[in-house]
Amino acid sequence: MFGVGISSGGSFTDAVIMDLKDWRVIAKAKSPTTYQDFSLGIISSLDKVLLASQIPADQVGLVSLATTLATNAIIEGRGGRIGLILIGIKHLELVGLKPETARDLPVHSVASIVGGHGPDGIEAAPLDVGGVREAVKHMLGEVDGFAVSGLFSVRNPEHELTVKRMIAQTCSKPVVCGHELAGSLGIYERTVTAVLNARIIPIIERLMKEVKGALAQRGISAPLMLVRGDGALMNEAVALERAIETIQSGPAASVIGGKFLASKDDVVVMDIGSTTTIISTVKAGTVKTDESGATISGWKTRVRAVDADALGNGGDSRIWIDDAGRLKVGPRRVMPLAFASIDFPTLKEKIAKSGSWEFINASKAMRKVDGSELINRFIGTVSRLEPITLDGLKNELSDVPVVDHLFKTLDEAGFIARIGLTPTDLMHIKGLFPLGDIEAARMGAELLAKTLGITAEELFDRVWKIMVHKITLRLTELQNSGGASYSNSADQSAVIGVLESVVSGALGDLKISCTLNSPIVGIGAPAHLFIPQVAKELNTEAIIPPNHEVGAAIGALIGNVASTSEFLIKKEMATSNFVVFPGRHVFTELEPAVEFTLKMGKEVSFAQAKRAGAAEIEFRVERKDKVVPNLGFMWSEIKVTATGRPSLEGREK
Amino acid sequence: MATKEEILAGLAKAVIDGDVDTAKKWAQAAIDSNIDAFEALTKGCQQGMKVMGDRYSAGEAYIPEIMLSADAMYTTMDMLRPHLKAKAVAPGTIVMGVIEGDVHDIGKNIVKMMLEASSVNVVDLGRDVPIAAFVDKVKEVNANAIGMSSLMTTCMFKMKDVVDMLVEQGLKPKVKVMVGGAPISEEFAKSVGADGYAPDAAEAVKVFEKLMRGA
Ligand code: B12
């Protein structure tokens, strides 16, 4: 049997097909990512890889997909209309629902209902069932789905479940409860997670439907898996309930792919993509995750995700000259000239005529323009003239006095797409990247080099040095902050200052060097161009494995299906009882309480993992006890994880 | 005139005897001799209370006697309060109280006195304070910190519930938590997620200042 892994995030959607027995890569392919409709790029890369491999459809036993669709949808503010039902929350501003908070939650309507529990899992106030009924009746016709979030629902989910049942009795719209997606305290984060999840369900649903349809057309009946932000896999049935867990799945797939390709248990994975360089760490075979939850578009969620640092430097970083005449790279992302020239065939002419290598264009991002007349005219002009230089636009709109201001505002809001010279263009010139228009790239590079009074060759070297320096510095900072703790921020910036000097060699005759203890594995198409130099700076080994350019697609395929459930056993001093949460199961002795927890944990996580498509399930138990001298046992936090390989036995009904 | 040692011993004995009138006399003597008010409290009255605690543990003293001692202690506290010398610390508002189920408030009140003498704004919830009341008060007065006291091993665990309340409502990193009381240790404080612990009132002021400075 063979498996297809697809990673759709950066400028390209990558696909691999691997032998599921020995993990041999049979074929690989790339297609441009189609941001307007992800499924097109996904299906195109799928077709390419199938064709290249010559493997018949009935030999494909598994298809697994890592996609940034959910992330993009949230950043762009897309999604369904959600009715939020809050239970037992007195201070609405704490869940981001008051004007004085920076951003409102993206909900259509909110009802605040009396009820909720206390930290001991005991009802703080009875649920106002009448209030729920009333609220649901009001919202029903206006919303696409519901989110339900109650105070201390992770200690006792009863009220959330009651509301969910009540809604399910009146309609079949999705209902997402806070406790279903998060096991730890933090009503704000759970509410955000539930709301965003409910919002993007229809978007993920559509993608799955289209990809599934395409698979069926090609005669593939294998289960379709989605990668989660922690690298684990889930099938469609579960992905439709937990769509939010696909955020960060791109970085997750790349770190898992990197670890696999390097066959190392301690390694730093660097994925040099088009927009960003992602840095993550594997220690003792475990990928570092952020247990407190990933932040997306400014919203803190409780979604467990790989702890990946995204450095705003990648192939599509803007190469520019600052006011002081210094050469800079990034952090802004622009569309490489080599690719823009394909979308806009007149680009080369425009470069020649204007003598400029930077252009603007109206962004394709689907955003509602709140159309003041000026803004509409501005956007209209930019769209009509296709790529245009900023000076050209100012001439065109010379009667608009606030054109600079307008440009700045619209640019910050993401209405403006920029085109310019990038490392990707330089790679084209070097013949390292064969997909775009080399001539356009060369024209831009020569213009910029001329401005600096250097040759295009020298420009290449200098841009490379800057990239390597930035990546090295960020890596040393990360590795340093991972191990060190500072008593204050002044100490921390002092250390970073020293690191900067070490990396840039700016300490005069004093030579200090940094040594990274683990090798660096490079993932992504341009990895081989940067990583060896970064590794050299840090006195460590660079691993550029075969198939590194499709590392994330490989990572998407090799993950396991997993499900974790979290419990708390607390000793209640007044009664000397041991209480298991969620739910308040009371025991007089610790051991039976632990036994009960493990049994329940295994049952729950087994059922969930099986539902998510796992076979050959194994358990992992993590237990953290709090014991204080003289007082003895206080509480125990227990996590039970069930993992298994994806079952190849066809799709769920 | 009595010596400092005599005055401190007198205060302790008055508390042990639960003798309010004698306690007043010695408190006035302490003020007249310019004895540091805080020293008079901690090295005088508090020592007397310690003796009562030992006697109670040994079965030599009973609750009514201890209540009389507490009255004597409070009388001296009232007299000494205006004479406390302390320098102002970093400004801030702290919500204080004795945790649910516990009525021992002498220690909490000494801490409160010292904080107020250091220009800290103390919002006092008193004793036997339900856990939700701490968080509600913090929201209401927009406090920077919570100070919880407990003298009973059976009640001190509720401090964790208050911290959980703060975490659940996203107030934790902003609102600092300080705990104290005879059975509380540094280790215990840490384990319930408190940001600070102090064994006595003088230390409590320093800890509060440190927390407000964010160090
Ligand atoms: C006085 C006293 C009482 C008085 C309280 C009067 C009052 N208004 O407070 C009365 C008579 C009412 C009383 C009642 C009871 N008591 Co009683 N009581 C005591 C006694 C003797 C002294 C406590 C005291 O005031 N100490 C002096 C103060 C100044 O010290 P402190 O509180 O430790 O405070 C200092 C520091 O800890 C710190 N600090 C305190 N709070 C805070 C807060 C913060 C934020 C910080 C930073 C620092 C800080 O700074 C303070 C100043 O330096 C103790 C015995 C003892 N040795 O402690 C028993 C004791 C506390 N009581 C005890 C008991 C059992 C009881 C009763 C249950 C008795 C009964 N069977 O009815 C009841 C409890 C009622 C209830 N639900 O709370 C037990 C508790 C045992 C346990 N399980 O923990 C003790 C330990 C006696 C014993 N050895 O058995 N009690």
- Whether B48 maps to a domain, the answer reads yes
The DSSP bridge pattern shows strands A2-8 and A60-67 to be parallel
Query: Among the three residues A417, A435, A458, which one is the final residue of a domain in this structure?
Result: A458
A356 and A399 housed in the same domain: yes
CA-to-CA dists, residue B155 to A167, A568, B98, B176, angstroms: 40, 20, 10, 20
**Which pLDDT score, from 0 to 100, does residue A97 have?**
65
Share of chain A above pLDDT 90, in %: 54
For residue A555, count other CB atoms closer than 10 A to its CB: 33
B184 and B103 housed in the same domain: yes
B57 and B124 housed in the same domain: no
- How much is the ipTM here? 0.85
Produce one character per residue of B102-124: b if its CB has 16 or more CB atoms within 10 Å, e if not. bebbbbbbbbbbbbbbbebebbb
Query: Which residues does chain A have within 8 Å of residue B167's beta carbon, measured at their own beta carbons?
Result: 185-186
Query: Is A2 within 8 Å of A18 (Cβ atoms)?
Result: yes
The tally of domains found in chain A comes to 3
A568 and A630 housed in the same domain: yes
Task: Quickly state the pLDDT bin for A367 (edges 50, 70, 90).
Answer: very low
Residue A260 pLDDT > 90: yes
What's the whole-number mean pLDDT along residues A373-382?
Answer: 72
B28 and B117 housed in the same domain: no
The tally of domains found in chain B comes to 2
Three-state DSSP at A266 gives coil
Query: Among the three residues A429, A458, A487, which one is the final residue of a domain in this structure?
Result: A458
Ligand 1 site-directed mutation target among B151, B158, B184, most atoms within 8 Å of CB:
B151
- Whether B71 maps to a domain, the answer reads yes
More confident residue, A381 or A426: A426
- Whether A612 maps to a domain, the answer reads yes
Q: Is B197 on the interface with A (CB under 8 A)?
A: no
Helical packing angle, B63-80 and B46-57, nearest 10°: 170
For residue A231, count other CB atoms closer than 10 A to its CB: 27
CA distance A283 to A264: 9
B72 and B97 housed in the same domain: no
Residue B17: give its domain's CATH number: 1.10.1240.10
Q: Is A87 on the interface with B (CB under 8 A)?
A: no
Summarised one tens digit per residue, pLDDT across range A520-557 is: 999 988 888 889 988 998 889 999 999 999 999 999 99
Query: Among the three residues B41, B60, B83, which one is the final residue of a domain in this structure?
Result: B83
What's the whole-number mean pLDDT along residues B178-184?
Answer: 95
CA distance A482 to A312: 20
CA distance A4 to A57: 11
Nearest to B161 among A91, A119, A188 (CB): A119
- Whether B88 maps to a domain, the answer reads no
- Cα A453 vs. chain centroid, distance in angstroms? 41
What is the distance between the terminal CA atoms of chain B, rounded to a whole angstrom? 46
Query: Among the three residues A416, A443, A458, which one is the final residue of a domain in this structure?
Result: A458
Lowest mean pLDDT among A363-367, A579-583, B186-190: A363-367
Could you tell me if the CB of B74 is within 6 A of ligand 1? no
Asked if B136's CB is within 8 angstroms of A634's CB, the reply is no
Residue B64 pLDDT > 80: yes
A535 and A566 housed in the same domain: no
What's the whole-number mean pLDDT along residues A298-310?
Answer: 86
CA distance A185 to B170: 9
B177 and B75 housed in the same domain: no
Q: Which atom of ligand 1 is nearest to the CA of B147?
A: 45
Asked if A571's CB is within 8 angstroms of B170's CB, the reply is no
A326 and A415 housed in the same domain: yes
Task: Quickly state the pLDDT bin for A481 (edges 50, 70, 90).
Answer: low
Query: Is A115 within 8 Å of A162 (Cβ atoms)?
Result: no
B78 and B150 housed in the same domain: no
Task: Quickly state the pLDDT bin for A114 (edges 50, 70, 90).
Answer: very high
Q: Is B36 on the interface with A (CB under 8 A)?
A: no
Domain hosting B113: range is 93-212
**Which pLDDT score, from 0 to 100, does residue A550 have?**
93
* Backbone dihedral angles phi then psi of residue A269, each to the nearest 5 degrees: -100, 130
Q: Is A152 on the interface with B (CB under 8 A)?
A: yes
Could you tell me if the CB of B198 is within 6 A of ligand 1? yes
What's the whole-number mean pLDDT along residues A214-224?
Answer: 92
Query: Which residues does chain B have within 8 Å of residue A488's beta carbon, measured at their own beta carbons?
Result: 215
B107 and B207 housed in the same domain: yes
Q: Is A339 on the interface with B (CB under 8 A)?
A: no
Whether the link from the prior residue into A251 is cis, omega within 30° of 0, is no
CA distance B202 to B194: 18
- Cα A392 vs. chain centroid, distance in angstroms? 37
Domain hosting A416: range is 317-458
Query: Is B158 within 8 Å of B173 (Cβ atoms)?
Result: no
Helical packing angle, A527-537 and A456-483, nearest 10°: 60
Atom 65 of ligand 1: nearest residue by CA position: B152
Q: Is B41 exposed, middle or buried (0-12, 13-18, 19+ CB in 10 A)?
A: buried
Summarised one tens digit per residue, pLDDT across range B104-152 is: 999 999 999 889 888 899 999 999 999 999 999 999 999 999 999 999 9
Q: Which atom of ligand 1 is nearest to the CA of B154?
A: 83
**Which pLDDT score, from 0 to 100, does residue A99 have?**
43
B58 and B20 housed in the same domain: yes
Q: In the numeric block, which tokens belong to residue A289?
A: 């995750």
- Whether B197 maps to a domain, the answer reads yes
What's the whole-number mean pLDDT along residues A380-387?
Answer: 74
Asked if A187's CB is within 8 angstroms of B155's CB, the reply is no
- Whether A590 maps to a domain, the answer reads yes
Task: Quickly state the pLDDT bin for A201 (edges 50, 70, 90).
Answer: very high
Location of structure tokens 């550029």: A544
A419 and A328 housed in the same domain: yes
Q: Is B74 on the interface with A (CB under 8 A)?
A: no
Residue B139: give its domain's CATH number: 3.40.50.280
- Whether A184 maps to a domain, the answer reads no
For residue B178, count other CB atoms closer than 10 A to its CB: 24
Task: Quickly state the pLDDT bin for A96 (edges 50, 70, 90).
Answer: low
Work out the angle at residue B173's Cα, subtended by the Cα atoms of residues B172 and B177, and round it to the nearest 5 degrees: 60
Query: Which residues does chain A have within 8 Å of residue B169's beta carbon, measured at their own beta carbons?
Result: 91, 94, 151, 187-188
Produce one character per residue of A260-289: b if its CB has 16 or more CB atoms within 10 Å, e if not. bbbebeebbbbbbbbbbbbbbbbeeeebeb
CA distance A465 to A472: 10
More confident residue, A543 or A289: A543
Query: Among the three residues B83, B106, B136, which one is the final residue of a domain in this structure?
Result: B83
Three-state DSSP at A547 gives coil
**Which pLDDT score, from 0 to 100, does residue A398 have?**
74
Beta strands in A357-512, from DSSP E residues, in sequence order: 359-362, 416-420
**Which pLDDT score, from 0 to 100, does residue A484 have?**
55
Residue A399 pLDDT > 80: no
Q: Look at residues A469, A459, A611 and name the one whose alpha carbon lies nearest to residue A537.
A: A469
Query: Which residues does chain B have within 8 Å of residue A572's beta carbon, measured at their own beta carbons?
Result: 157
Query: Among the three residues B83, B104, B126, which one is the final residue of a domain in this structure?
Result: B83
B107 and B173 housed in the same domain: yes
> Residue A317's beta-bridge partner residues?
A333
Helical packing angle, B106-117 and B201-213, nearest 10°: 50
Side-chain half-sphere CA neighbours of B100 within 13 A: 13
| H-run or E-run covering A137 | helix A129-140
As a whole number, the mean pLDDT across chain B is 92
Q: Is A98 on the interface with B (CB under 8 A)?
A: no
Side-chain half-sphere CA neighbours of A146 within 13 A: 28
| H-run or E-run covering A206 | helix A187-217
Residue type, A412: E
B154 and B74 housed in the same domain: no
Whether the link from the prior residue into B91 is cis, omega within 30° of 0, is no
Contacts 24+ apart (CB under 8 A), B132-138: B132/A118, B132/A124, B132/B165, B133/B97, B134/B95, B134/B97, B134/B162, B134/B165, B135/B162, B135/B165, B135/B166, B135/B169, B135/B171, B136/A90, B137/B95, B138/B95, B138/B166, B138/B171, B138/B175
Residue type, A399: D
Task: Please give, one letter per residue, the 3-state secondary structure of chain B.
Answer: CCCHHHHHHHHHHHHHHCCHHHHHHHHHHHHHCCCCHHHHHHHHHHHHHHHHHHHHHCCCCCHHHHHHHHHHHHHHHHHHHHHCCCCCCCCCEEEEEEECCCCCCHHHHHHHHHHHHCCCEEEECCCCECHHHHHHHHHHHCCCEEEEECCCCCCCCHHHHHHHHHHHCCCCCCCEEEEECCCCCHHHHHHCCCCEECCCHHHHHHHHHHHHHCC
CA distance A381 to A262: 50
Could you tell me if the CB of B108 is within 6 A of ligand 1? yes
Could you tell me if the CB of B102 is within 6 A of ligand 1? yes
Q: In the numeric block, which tokens belong to residue B48?
A: 């007397």
B205 and B146 housed in the same domain: yes
**Which pLDDT score, from 0 to 100, does residue A653 have?**
34
As a whole number, the mean pLDDT across chain A is 87
CA distance A644 to A566: 18
For residue A247, count other CB atoms closer than 10 A to its CB: 30
Query: Is A419 within 8 Å of A354 (Cβ atoms)?
Result: no
**Which pLDDT score, from 0 to 100, does residue A433 have?**
72
CA distance A445 to A5: 36
- Whether A626 maps to a domain, the answer reads yes
**Which pLDDT score, from 0 to 100, does residue A486 have?**
56
Lowest mean pLDDT among A92-101, A422-431, A495-504: A92-101
Closest chain A residue to the Cα of B213, Cα to Cα:
A488
Q: Which atom of ligand 1 is nearest to the CA of B66?
A: 11
- Whether A102 maps to a domain, the answer reads no
A451 and A473 housed in the same domain: no
- Whether A589 maps to a domain, the answer reads yes
Summarised one tens digit per residue, pLDDT across range A25-42 is: 999 998 888 877 888 889
Q: Is B139 on the interface with A (CB under 8 A)?
A: yes
More confident residue, A305 or A414: A305
A370 and A450 housed in the same domain: yes
Q: In the numeric block, which tokens belong to residue B73?
A: 């202690």
> Residue A563's beta-bridge partner residues?
A642
A419 and A337 housed in the same domain: yes
Summarised one tens digit per residue, pLDDT across range A533-542 is: 889 988 899 9
Could you tell me if the CB of B143 is within 6 A of ligand 1? no
For residue A368, count other CB atoms closer than 10 A to its CB: 6
Asked if B170's CB is within 8 angstroms of A187's CB, the reply is yes
Query: Which residues does chain A have within 8 Å of residue B136's beta carbon, measured at their own beta carbons?
Result: 90
CA distance A417 to A411: 8
Closest chain B residue to the Cα of A122, Cα to Cα:
B161
B113 and B45 housed in the same domain: no
